[in-house]
């Protein structure tokens, strides 16, 4: 019986440059520890827009628009260890969210 374990890391945040820098640092770490398959995928971004009226007296004459963009990335790893989980959590900045999903399968050959 052989255990196949895969880990998916979902990275989300509003600062795109900080996320890309974190992925660059994470990629250097993963090159040192993993020589197996790893994939980096950019997922579609979520954009929320908010429109506010500037003046309560003149309706729809003067508006301000704000937008909040949430960027998402996915990293897939094979043959991960709990050590990897601890290291990734220790180097992540506070304003980046990480979600981990594990798939452990038994396969018989």
pLDDT in tens, 39-52: 788 899 999 999 88
CA 10 from centre of chain: 4
pLDDT tens for 54-92 read: 877 777 777 889 999 999 999 888 777 777 788 888 888
Q: Using one digit for the tens of pLDDT, what is the confidence trace for 51-61?
A: 888 877 777 77
pLDDT at 96 over 80: yes
Domains, the chain: 2-101 (3.30.70.600)
pTM: 0.74
CA distance 47 to 67: 7
Please, are residues 96 and 12 in contact by the beta-carbon 8 Å criterion? Answer: yes
Token pair recorded at residue 40? 């980096």
Distance CA 79, CA 26 (A): 16
Contact 62, 80 (CB under 8 A): no
CA–CA dist 14, 78 (Å, integer): 28
């Amino acid at each position: 019986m052989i255990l196949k374990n895969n880990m998916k890391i979902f990275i989300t945040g509003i600062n795109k440059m900080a996320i890309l820098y974190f992925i660059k640092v994470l990629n250097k770490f993963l090159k040192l520890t993993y020589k197996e398959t790893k994939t980096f995928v950019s997922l579609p971004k979520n954009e929320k827009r908010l429109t506010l009226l500037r003046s309560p007296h003149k309706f729809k004459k003067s508006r301000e628009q704000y937008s909040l963009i949430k960027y998402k990335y996915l990293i897939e790893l094979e043959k991960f260890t709990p050590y990897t989980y601890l290291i990734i959590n220790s180097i992540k900045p506070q304003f980046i969210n990480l979600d981990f999903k594990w798939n452990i399968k038994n396969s018989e050959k």
